[in-house]
Amino acid sequence: AAGVIQSPRHLIKEKRETATLKCYPIPRHDTVYWYQQGPGQDPQFLISFYEKMQSDKGSIPDRFSAQQFSDYHSELNMSSLELGDSALYFCASSSGYEQFFGPGTRLTVL
Amino acid sequence: EDKVVQSPLSLVVHEGDTVTLNCSYEVTNFRSLLWYKQEKKAPTFLFMLTSSGIEKKSGRLSSILDKKELFSILNITATQTGDSAIYLCAVGYLYNQGGKLIFGQGTELSVKP
């Protein structure tokens, strides 16, 4: 069965650089969620989209922005990267109740 | 403030043991409670519970929700080394409140041979 696809899987950036993370939800899933998981931490909700509109916003820094496109894929744009942004970034997709997670993008900021 | 609390935070058992993981929550706009297994990668979906008292079962794993007392348990019987992982409990918000998940801290289970 098709799963959530995220790219890239690993990303290394320097401080103050910009990063773009991509998420391709499971086909026919209309909702995408982004989560950030720091080392040894539980996933923290960042932002979500339903039918290409932002549906909820969590603890997402102003330096981050996201959108969902007409094909339902989503991109998380992160600017002015800081060391503390190093984390695993998960995308999850849903068509109702369950959320299925992608493999994550491991971002390292040097 | 909404929160999800899991206990214990870590657990070491031997193969064949039975374990019970706990999850309690205080969440407004509750819609569902979900259990995930995380092994150094993405959380893998195990169960979603929306109704009290109805046990969900998958092989050696089972889970039940008590919406009156606001907790859930995840049972694993006849544990195997492959069960070693972090087990995350998450509460899902009502869809009209965004549907996001908030997670507990996780229980790190280690199953020794």
| Of B34, B42, B100, Cβ closest to residue A98 | B34
Banded pLDDT at B1 (limits 50, 70, 90):
confident
What local confidence, expressed as pLDDT, does residue B97 receive? 64
Token reading at A16? 């103050």
**How far apart (Å, rounded) are the C-alpha atoms in residues B70 and B23?**
9
CA distances from A28 to A1, A23, A75, A76, B38 (A): 13, 14, 18, 20, 25
Percent of chain A past pLDDT 70, that is, above it, reads 99
How many angstroms away from the CA of A70 is the closest CA of chain B? 20
Report CB contact under 8 Å: B42, A101: yes
Q: To the nearest whole percent, how much of chain B has pLDDT over 70?
A: 96
β-pairing, B71-76 vs B61-66, is antiparallel
- What is the per-residue pLDDT across B56-109, written as a single tens digit (0 to 9) for each? 999 999 999 999 999 999 999 999 999 999 999 999 987 766 788 999 999 999
Rounded CA gap, A92 and A47, in Å? 11
Q: State how far the Cα of A46 lies from the Cα of A72, in Å rounded to an integer.
A: 18
A96 in Cβ contact with A29 (< 8 Å) = no
Average pLDDT along chain B: 93
Nearest to A42 among B44, B100, B103 (CB): B103
Residue A79: the pLDDT is 97
Residue B40 scores a pLDDT above 90: no
Residue B93: what pLDDT?
A: 86
Q: What is the pLDDT of residue A98?
A: 87
A98–B99 C-beta distance less than 8 A: no
The strand pairing partners of B93, in sequence order, are B30
Q: Is the pLDDT of residue A61 over 70?
A: yes
- Picking from B31, B42, B98, the nearest residue to A90 by CB comes out as B42
Per-residue confidence (pLDDT) for residue A104, from 0 to 100 = 95
What's CA B83's distance to the chain center, in Å?
13
pLDDT at res. B28: 85
pLDDT of A95 reads: 86
pLDDT class for B10, splitting at 50, 70, 90? very high
Chain A hits for B95, CB-CB cut-off 8 Å, are: 96
What residues pair up with B108 in beta bridges, in sequence order? B10, B86
Q: What percent of chain A has a predicted confidence (pLDDT) above 90?
A: 82
- Residues of A whose CB is below 8 A from B36: 101
